[in-house]
Amino acid sequence: MYNNERLNIKDYGYFVNNNQQPLDEQIVVPFHSNLGEQYLISSKYRQVFFRLAQCFIHQQHVTTCGVASSVMVLNAIYVQKQIKRPLDTASMFKNVTTNVSMANFIWTEQNFFENTQDVLNQDEIMGKVTDHHNEYNLGMRLYKLSSALNIVLTNIHMQAILYYVNKTTEQNLNEFRRLIKDVMNSQNRYIITNYNLNIQCTELNCGHFSPIAAYDEVSDRLLLLDPWASFSPWVWVKLADFYSSMNTRDGDNYRGYIVIGDIS
Protein backbone atom coordinates (compact mmCIF):
# COMPACT_ATOMS: atom_id res chain seq x y z
CA MET A 1 0.00 0.00 0.00
CA TYR A 2 1.19 3.54 -0.77
CA ASN A 3 1.59 5.97 2.08
CA ASN A 4 0.14 9.26 0.79
CA GLU A 5 1.85 11.36 3.44
CA ARG A 6 5.30 9.86 2.78
CA LEU A 7 4.90 10.19 -0.99
CA ASN A 8 3.37 13.69 -0.71
CA ILE A 9 0.30 12.66 -2.70
CA LYS A 10 -2.67 15.02 -2.64
CA ASP A 11 -5.78 12.87 -2.26
CA TYR A 12 -9.01 14.74 -3.00
CA GLY A 13 -10.97 11.56 -2.39
CA TYR A 14 -14.36 11.27 -4.04
CA PHE A 15 -16.31 14.44 -4.69
CA VAL A 16 -18.68 15.14 -1.78
CA ASN A 17 -21.39 17.73 -2.23
CA ASN A 18 -21.72 19.66 1.02
CA ASN A 19 -23.92 22.37 -0.47
CA GLN A 20 -26.98 22.94 1.72
CA GLN A 21 -29.15 24.40 -1.06
CA PRO A 22 -31.98 22.32 -2.52
CA LEU A 23 -30.40 20.05 -5.14
CA ASP A 24 -32.32 21.52 -8.07
CA GLU A 25 -30.92 24.99 -7.24
CA GLN A 26 -27.30 23.89 -7.19
CA ILE A 27 -24.91 24.35 -10.11
CA VAL A 28 -23.91 20.67 -10.08
CA VAL A 29 -26.30 17.71 -9.73
CA PRO A 30 -24.83 14.17 -9.59
CA PHE A 31 -26.10 11.90 -12.36
CA HIS A 32 -26.69 9.06 -9.91
CA SER A 33 -29.07 11.14 -7.76
CA ASN A 34 -32.82 10.72 -8.18
CA LEU A 35 -32.97 14.20 -9.69
CA GLY A 36 -30.09 13.40 -12.07
CA GLU A 37 -31.92 10.32 -13.28
CA GLN A 38 -35.10 12.36 -13.81
CA TYR A 39 -33.18 14.85 -15.96
CA LEU A 40 -32.08 12.06 -18.29
CA ILE A 41 -35.54 10.52 -18.47
CA SER A 42 -37.18 13.84 -19.30
CA SER A 43 -34.43 15.03 -21.67
CA LYS A 44 -35.32 15.40 -25.35
CA TYR A 45 -31.63 15.70 -26.31
CA ARG A 46 -29.87 12.51 -25.27
CA GLN A 47 -29.01 10.35 -28.29
CA VAL A 48 -25.30 10.94 -27.77
CA PHE A 49 -25.58 9.60 -24.20
CA PHE A 50 -26.44 6.07 -25.30
CA ARG A 51 -23.53 5.94 -27.76
CA LEU A 52 -20.97 7.38 -25.33
CA ALA A 53 -22.07 5.59 -22.16
CA GLN A 54 -21.27 2.17 -23.62
CA CYS A 55 -17.77 3.45 -24.48
CA PHE A 56 -17.05 5.24 -21.20
CA ILE A 57 -13.56 4.86 -19.75
CA HIS A 58 -11.76 6.24 -16.71
CA GLN A 59 -8.68 8.33 -17.43
CA GLN A 60 -5.57 6.30 -16.64
CA HIS A 61 -3.51 9.25 -15.40
CA VAL A 62 -4.47 12.43 -13.54
CA THR A 63 -3.47 14.50 -16.61
CA THR A 64 -5.01 12.42 -19.44
CA CYS A 65 -8.63 13.61 -19.22
CA GLY A 66 -8.42 14.98 -22.78
CA VAL A 67 -7.09 11.70 -24.12
CA ALA A 68 -9.71 9.66 -22.26
CA SER A 69 -12.49 11.93 -23.57
CA SER A 70 -11.15 11.46 -27.11
CA VAL A 71 -10.95 7.69 -26.72
CA MET A 72 -14.61 7.54 -25.66
CA VAL A 73 -15.68 9.57 -28.67
CA LEU A 74 -13.51 7.63 -31.12
CA ASN A 75 -14.81 4.27 -29.91
CA ALA A 76 -18.40 5.53 -30.21
CA ILE A 77 -17.73 6.75 -33.77
CA TYR A 78 -16.03 3.54 -34.88
CA VAL A 79 -18.82 1.40 -33.41
CA GLN A 80 -21.46 3.56 -35.09
CA LYS A 81 -19.68 3.44 -38.45
CA GLN A 82 -18.74 -0.26 -38.02
CA ILE A 83 -15.06 0.46 -38.70
CA LYS A 84 -12.29 -1.78 -37.41
CA ARG A 85 -10.50 -0.09 -34.53
CA PRO A 86 -6.71 -0.16 -33.91
CA LEU A 87 -4.99 -3.00 -32.13
CA ASP A 88 -4.66 -2.81 -28.36
CA THR A 89 -1.23 -4.40 -27.98
CA ALA A 90 -1.56 -4.53 -24.18
CA SER A 91 -4.39 -7.05 -24.54
CA MET A 92 -2.47 -9.51 -26.75
CA PHE A 93 -1.91 -13.09 -25.67
CA LYS A 94 -0.95 -16.30 -27.41
CA ASN A 95 -2.83 -19.55 -27.01
CA VAL A 96 -0.01 -22.06 -26.60
CA THR A 97 -2.28 -24.95 -27.53
CA THR A 98 -3.44 -23.56 -30.87
CA ASN A 99 -0.46 -21.24 -31.43
CA VAL A 100 -2.93 -18.47 -32.26
CA SER A 101 -2.52 -14.92 -30.95
CA MET A 102 -5.55 -12.97 -29.84
CA ALA A 103 -6.13 -9.33 -28.88
CA ASN A 104 -8.72 -6.58 -28.66
CA PHE A 105 -9.18 -4.03 -31.41
CA ILE A 106 -10.24 -0.89 -29.58
CA TRP A 107 -9.13 2.69 -29.05
CA THR A 108 -7.16 3.11 -25.82
CA GLU A 109 -5.17 5.96 -24.32
CA GLN A 110 -1.97 4.19 -25.34
CA ASN A 111 -2.75 3.67 -29.01
CA PHE A 112 -4.19 7.21 -29.17
CA PHE A 113 -0.80 8.50 -28.05
CA GLU A 114 0.93 6.17 -30.54
CA ASN A 115 -1.18 7.48 -33.42
CA THR A 116 -0.74 11.15 -32.50
CA GLN A 117 2.90 11.27 -31.39
CA ASP A 118 3.68 13.95 -34.00
CA VAL A 119 1.50 16.31 -31.93
CA LEU A 120 1.35 14.89 -28.40
CA ASN A 121 4.31 14.09 -26.17
CA GLN A 122 3.02 11.50 -23.73
CA ASP A 123 5.85 11.97 -21.24
CA GLU A 124 5.37 15.76 -21.18
CA ILE A 125 1.62 15.42 -20.64
CA MET A 126 2.19 13.04 -17.74
CA GLY A 127 4.87 15.26 -16.22
CA LYS A 128 7.71 12.79 -16.68
CA VAL A 129 9.90 15.21 -18.65
CA THR A 130 10.12 18.98 -19.12
CA ASP A 131 8.97 20.79 -22.24
CA HIS A 132 11.13 22.82 -24.65
CA HIS A 133 11.14 25.68 -22.10
CA ASN A 134 12.59 23.24 -19.53
CA GLU A 135 9.37 23.47 -17.52
CA TYR A 136 6.90 20.85 -16.38
CA ASN A 137 3.71 21.52 -18.32
CA LEU A 138 1.30 18.76 -17.33
CA GLY A 139 -1.82 17.98 -19.31
CA MET A 140 -2.52 19.62 -22.65
CA ARG A 141 -4.04 22.70 -24.20
CA LEU A 142 -7.23 22.66 -26.24
CA TYR A 143 -5.51 23.30 -29.57
CA LYS A 144 -3.19 20.33 -29.00
CA LEU A 145 -6.10 17.97 -28.47
CA SER A 146 -7.89 19.34 -31.53
CA SER A 147 -4.78 18.80 -33.67
CA ALA A 148 -4.33 15.26 -32.36
CA LEU A 149 -7.96 14.38 -33.06
CA ASN A 150 -7.71 15.65 -36.61
CA ILE A 151 -4.78 13.32 -37.26
CA VAL A 152 -6.92 10.24 -36.55
CA LEU A 153 -10.25 11.62 -37.79
CA THR A 154 -8.94 12.46 -41.25
CA ASN A 155 -8.66 8.74 -41.99
CA ILE A 156 -12.42 8.30 -41.55
CA HIS A 157 -13.42 11.55 -43.31
CA MET A 158 -14.25 13.40 -40.10
CA GLN A 159 -12.88 16.53 -38.47
CA ALA A 160 -12.50 18.31 -35.12
CA ILE A 161 -13.33 22.02 -35.10
CA LEU A 162 -12.02 24.12 -32.22
CA TYR A 163 -13.95 26.97 -30.61
CA TYR A 164 -12.51 29.26 -27.94
CA VAL A 165 -14.97 30.81 -25.49
CA ASN A 166 -13.46 34.28 -25.20
CA LYS A 167 -16.58 36.06 -23.94
CA THR A 168 -19.92 35.29 -22.32
CA THR A 169 -23.01 37.07 -23.67
CA GLU A 170 -26.66 36.12 -24.02
CA GLN A 171 -26.10 35.71 -27.75
CA ASN A 172 -23.16 33.36 -27.15
CA LEU A 173 -25.19 31.32 -24.67
CA ASN A 174 -28.14 31.02 -27.04
CA GLU A 175 -25.89 29.96 -29.91
CA PHE A 176 -24.22 27.36 -27.68
CA ARG A 177 -27.63 26.05 -26.59
CA ARG A 178 -28.70 25.63 -30.20
CA LEU A 179 -25.45 23.83 -30.99
CA ILE A 180 -25.84 21.49 -28.01
CA LYS A 181 -29.41 20.59 -28.99
CA ASP A 182 -28.33 19.87 -32.55
CA VAL A 183 -25.33 17.75 -31.60
CA MET A 184 -27.06 15.80 -28.80
CA ASN A 185 -29.68 14.50 -31.23
CA SER A 186 -27.32 14.00 -34.16
CA GLN A 187 -26.29 10.66 -35.59
CA ASN A 188 -22.55 11.14 -35.53
CA ARG A 189 -21.48 14.41 -33.90
CA TYR A 190 -19.85 14.96 -30.51
CA ILE A 191 -18.55 17.74 -28.27
CA ILE A 192 -15.50 17.59 -26.00
CA THR A 193 -15.25 20.52 -23.59
CA ASN A 194 -12.30 22.16 -21.83
CA TYR A 195 -13.27 24.07 -18.69
CA ASN A 196 -12.12 25.12 -15.22
CA LEU A 197 -12.68 22.25 -12.81
CA ASN A 198 -13.53 24.62 -9.95
CA ILE A 199 -17.13 24.51 -11.16
CA GLN A 200 -17.20 21.09 -9.47
CA CYS A 201 -14.66 21.66 -6.68
CA THR A 202 -13.43 25.08 -5.55
CA GLU A 203 -10.11 23.55 -4.42
CA LEU A 204 -9.24 22.68 -8.01
CA ASN A 205 -8.46 25.79 -10.02
CA CYS A 206 -7.25 23.96 -13.12
CA GLY A 207 -8.34 22.85 -16.57
CA HIS A 208 -10.23 19.66 -17.34
CA PHE A 209 -11.76 17.86 -20.34
CA SER A 210 -15.08 16.02 -20.54
CA PRO A 211 -17.49 15.08 -23.32
CA ILE A 212 -21.09 16.31 -23.19
CA ALA A 213 -23.62 13.49 -23.41
CA ALA A 214 -27.07 15.06 -23.01
CA TYR A 215 -28.99 18.28 -22.46
CA ASP A 216 -32.12 18.82 -20.38
CA GLU A 217 -33.98 21.86 -21.69
CA VAL A 218 -36.33 22.33 -18.72
CA SER A 219 -33.49 22.67 -16.18
CA ASP A 220 -31.07 24.09 -18.79
CA ARG A 221 -28.38 21.58 -17.77
CA LEU A 222 -25.67 19.63 -19.57
CA LEU A 223 -24.61 16.09 -18.69
CA LEU A 224 -20.83 15.63 -18.44
CA LEU A 225 -19.40 12.10 -18.64
CA ASP A 226 -16.41 13.07 -16.52
CA PRO A 227 -13.50 10.68 -17.20
CA TRP A 228 -11.94 11.48 -13.80
CA ALA A 229 -14.45 9.12 -12.25
CA SER A 230 -12.20 8.27 -9.29
CA PHE A 231 -12.91 11.82 -8.08
CA SER A 232 -16.11 13.07 -9.65
CA PRO A 233 -19.32 11.32 -10.69
CA TRP A 234 -21.06 12.10 -13.95
CA VAL A 235 -22.82 15.39 -13.35
CA TRP A 236 -25.50 17.68 -14.69
CA VAL A 237 -24.30 21.31 -14.69
CA LYS A 238 -26.17 24.53 -15.37
CA LEU A 239 -25.37 25.56 -18.93
CA ALA A 240 -24.71 29.25 -18.20
CA ASP A 241 -22.32 28.47 -15.34
CA PHE A 242 -20.56 25.84 -17.39
CA TYR A 243 -20.14 28.23 -20.30
CA SER A 244 -18.51 30.71 -17.92
CA SER A 245 -16.13 27.99 -16.74
CA MET A 246 -14.98 27.59 -20.38
CA ASN A 247 -14.55 31.37 -20.58
CA THR A 248 -11.36 31.16 -18.47
CA ARG A 249 -7.74 31.59 -19.46
CA ASP A 250 -5.35 28.72 -20.15
CA GLY A 251 -2.02 30.27 -21.05
CA ASP A 252 -2.35 32.65 -23.99
CA ASN A 253 -5.82 31.44 -24.99
CA TYR A 254 -9.21 30.80 -23.46
CA ARG A 255 -10.67 27.38 -22.88
CA GLY A 256 -13.56 26.19 -25.01
CA TYR A 257 -14.79 23.13 -26.86
CA ILE A 258 -14.23 20.87 -29.86
CA VAL A 259 -17.04 19.79 -32.19
CA ILE A 260 -16.41 16.48 -33.93
CA GLY A 261 -18.33 15.48 -37.04
CA ASP A 262 -18.22 14.50 -40.68
CA ILE A 263 -16.29 16.68 -43.11
CA SER A 264 -18.95 18.73 -44.92
Q: Is 234 exposed, middle or buried (0-12, 13-18, 19+ CB in 10 A)?
A: buried
pTM strictly above 0.85: yes
DSSP 160-186: EEEEE-----HHHHHHHHHHHHHHHT-
Cα separation, 124 vs 126, whole angstroms: 5
For residue 93, name the pLDDT band (cuts at 50, 70, 90): confident
Cα separation, 98 vs 196, whole angstroms: 52
Contact 47, 122 (CB under 8 A): no
pLDDT single digits (tens) 27-36: 889 999 999 9
More confident residue, 232 or 255: 255
pLDDT single digits (tens) 201-225: 666 678 899 999 999 999 999 999 9
With residues binned 3-state (H G I as helix, E B as strand, rest as coil), the percentages for the chain, rounded to 5, are: 35, 25, 40
C-alpha dist (Å) from residue 39 to 56, 177, 235, 241, 243: 19, 16, 11, 17, 19
Mean of the per-residue pLDDT values of the chain: 87
Give me the residues paired with residue 159 across strands.
261
For residue 76, name the pLDDT band (cuts at 50, 70, 90): very high
Residue ranges and CATH numbers for the domains of the chain are 24-262 (3.90.70.30)
Cα separation, 194 vs 199, whole angstroms: 12
Instruction: Single out the residue of 123, 124, 162, 120 nearest to residue 144, CA to CA.
Output: 120
Tally: H helices and E strands in the chain: 9, 11
Mean pLDDT of 154-158: 95
Cα separation, 62 vs 15, whole angstroms: 15
